[in-house]
Chains A and B, each alone.
Chain A
Amino acid sequence: MVKVKVLHRSVVGLLLYSVLVTWGHPPDCRDNRDGIMRCVSISQEKLLDRVIQHAELIYRISEESCTIFEEMFIPLETRSQRTNMCVTQTFSIPSSKSEIQQISDKWLLHSVLMLVQSWIEPLIYLQTTLGRYDDIPNTLLNKTKWVSDKLLSLEQGVVVLIRKMLEEGMLVSSGSEQGLVSYHIPLELVESVLRDYALLTCFKKAAHKMETFLKLLKCRQTNKFSCFLF
């Protein structure tokens, strides 16, 4: 009787453990090629959808932050005149639709990843510098904090996507390739404001790029032909 009980419990325990293993930690699943490992994990389409949602949301919030900052600190004349000060990427990102349509999925994904990784640190820096202003509204601080958190999760999502779609392992490197030395130099208030404004607007643009690339990628995933017909 006791033995039966013990056996029963051990079986139950094993079952639970296996369940936990399958659902708690996404294992490194392979496709059904070898058919050996089958696991329950999120599908590629759903993952891509989620990543796109992330990017959309990040863009919307960054746009709102930019507007708030603009209204508070930037006089009318200087608005939208300094947007050409965005940090240029070490690689060139295509800038027209025709060009973009010519690049491959792989390149799209990698571009997105590089974009994301290049903005992680500046956003963290932005939080600290925004905190120095006297009458900065709390909403702005919250939004920037939110964006910088979400950017990290976006990076993770893109890494997983790369792994799934391109089937290549990827090291998550958060090295900043930008010349961000200037960020740490204390500046006068006006210059600091202008620089922060430039940061916000450039980030807004970068977020839009990410969103667009990902949406294009999604189209290509679902139906390759009609995407290129336009």
Chain B
Amino acid sequence: MRVVTTMVATIHAQFLGVKKDFDMWRDAGVTLILSLIFADVLESARFSPPGKPKLTGCRSPEKETFTCWWEPGPDGGLPTSYSLYYRKDNSDTVYECPDYHTAGKNSCFFNKYETSIWVNYNITVMATNALGSSVSDPVDVDVVYIVQPHTPENVTAVVYTDDDDDPFLLARWEPPRKVDTHSGWITLVYELRVKLEKGDTWEEHFAGQQKQFNIFSPRSGEVYMVQVRCKPDHGFWSEWSPISYVKVPDYIHRERSMWILIAVISAFVFLIFTWTVKHNSVKRFLLPPVPRPKIRGFDTQLLKSGKSEEVLGGLVIQGFPPTSDYDDLLVECLEVYDEEQELVVDGKDLQEGCLKSKSRSDSDSGRGSCDSHTLLMEKCGGAKEGPPTVLNGKQGQAGRGPLEKSNSHGHRLDAAESPDETNGSLSTVFSSQQQSHKPSSHSIPEIPRQCRVPGNHCPSTHQHDYKESLADAACLGKPLAGYRCMQAYSDHNIHKIGHKREATFQTSKSTGYVEVQKVEQENMLIVNPIAKEVRDLYHPEPTGQDYSKVNDVVNDNVLLLQREIAAKNQVAGNPTENCPHQQAGKPAIHTAVPLHYEVCLASNGYVTQPQK
């Protein structure tokens, strides 16, 4: 600019030298004005005072020194110089930056003698050029909060192998050189990141204050990249360290080798199985065939072939159902009532009376003692008129329906029927009375007429097997007043009873049915033993129906009872301690049964005697 002006001026002066002085001065002024205008125009187009610089930040790598950087603004075309000024805390003293060069261009470095921590620095930068200067916005800095260390150093990663274990990566590093972690001036925490060389994403791990880290289960044969960075407990994270590479040697996971072993063994076992399938004998040994349901005599092949007659013929079993002599016989059922029920016979009054007395007297199942029976009998004298006396078995004191052994009772036996009646044939259906008093005296009134007692002519029952004993003829007792006798009910009676029975089935479990096989001599019944199942039907065992089989009658007043199998030890009531377990199939037992002593009820409800 000035050059131009001077040139113009000199040229003009030379040119004007010729002219007179007056003209020279006038022309010089004009030139000067022109040049000034010219310069002004030029200046506004290109040169200006510097624009505002901007402080980009300050950092301290170890909390002892720090550096600040700035960004220059537009410099206006002229060379600009920058200077940094700061004030400490609240003081007004302004200091200038001590070192502009150590940290590079556009920076200011504060060494450790000039750095105070916990002190607030107010920093500004001024840009100056020929035309002017401008000042940046001030920035407040406290060194403590601007700590950003350098990267950790000596980052190493190796594969570490114990003897038998799988190998793992061990990464180690050191804190950056200048940071003083020994004296506790700075506490550093570290972070590590790992990546497969072929992989995409980094896996980051926080390592705390420790200077090593383990990475387990690396992939065999791969190359890993490891980087570490650090940060003071309140400050900024450093940059990531340069990458360290580590190669993992080939190895087999112990876990994987275990799986391989398992796979081999199972393949082996599988092979053995398939081999045995081909060899049937071995197969049958290892995998026995599952039994299929088979009907004997049923030939599936025949069925398939379509010959139904032969098939069905095969199904027929010879000899079934078992036929017996008594095919012609009308099978009837004897209904055996409890005492009370029988006594009820004649009408409800009697029944009630009997029942009442009975109940009063007894504390067990309702079966009175022998005495009570007599009592009853006496009270129920009306019964003499021919009340239907159903044989009733209960006597005795066993808790359940004790079977009454009528033979033990003198009275009863005298009634004569009892022993005879209760002769084994009577079978075992003595209903226990425990529960309710039977309301039904259904057809009892009709009975008496039929009740006859043959007296002593009853053939004694011969000993039979257990099951057959009941087939003996049942002797009917003499029709003494108030005595019980075994009544044979005609069909219709039975039916009636049956019906009524059903009605009262639930409550009155004490009645039992005996199947009558034959009737002899008008007054003898040959009774079938009640099948156990049937019996069970009517008298579910747990209810305590107790039956005892009478084996024989002796002397007209002694009942030989048959000890029964005690399948379940279900005896309730007092006198059970002495009850023996009896084995099946032992028929013998016969002891006179004076009803006075206690009797045991076997589980099936049979009266047994306690062993002496």
Binding site for B on A (CB under 8 A): 56, 59-60, 63, 80-81, 83-86, 93, 95-98, 101, 205, 208-209, 212, 215-216, 218-219, 226-230
Contact = CB atoms under 8 A, between A and B. Distances in A.
B239 interface: no
Nearest to A208: B144
Interface string B117-147: 1111010000000000000001010101000
Contacts of B116: 95-96
Interface stretch (B178-186, B388-396, B400-408): B178-186
A96 B183 contact: no
Which residue, of A60, A93, A205, A228, has the highest number of chain B Cβ atoms within 10 A?
A205
Contact of A98 (B112, B118, B138): B112
B144 A84 contact: no
Given A59-B234, A83-B142, A84-B140, A93 B182 contact: no
B89 A230 contact: no
A97 B113 CA distance: 9
A60 B232 CA distance: 13
Interface of B: 63-64, 89-90, 112-113, 115-120, 122, 138, 140, 142, 144, 180, 182-185, 187, 233-234
B144 A205 contact: yes
What 3 A-B pairs are tightest by C-beta distance, nearest first?
A: A215-B184, A95-B116, A219-B184
Contact of B120 (A60, A83, A230): A83
A60 B122 CA distance: 25
A155 B122 CA distance: 33
A212 B185 contact: yes
Which residue, of B118, B140, B144, has the highest number of chain A Cβ atoms within 10 A?
B118
B172 to A, nearest CB: 21
Contact of A218 (B90, B184, B233): B184
Contacts of B120: 83-84, 86
Consensus secondary structure, chain B interface: loop
A216 B184 contact: yes
Nearest to B182: A226
Consensus secondary structure, chain A interface: helix
B137 to A, nearest CB: 10
Contacts of B184: 212, 215-216, 218-219, 227
A175 B187 CA distance: 33
A227 B182 contact: yes
Contact of B118 (A208, A218, A226): A208
Contacts of A209: 118
Nearest to B187: A215
29 contacts: A59-B234, A83-B142, A84-B90, A84-B122, A85-B90, A95-B116, A95-B118, A96-B113, A97-B64, A97-B117, A97-B180, A98-B112, A98-B113, A205-B118, A205-B142, A205-B144, A208-B118, A208-B144, A212-B184, A212-B185, A215-B184, A215-B185, A218-B184, A227-B183, A227-B184, A228-B183, A229-B182, A230-B182, A230-B183
Contacts of B234: 59-60, 63, 208
A84 B187 CA distance: 26
B117 A95 contact: yes
Given A56-B233, A59-B234, A208-B234, A216 B117 contact: no
Contact of B112 (A60, A80, A97, A215): A97
Given A83-B142, A84-B90, A95 B185 contact: no
A97 B147 CA distance: 14
Contact of B183 (A63, A81, A86, A219): A219
A212 B191 CA distance: 23
Nearest to A56: B233
Contacts of A215: 184-185, 187
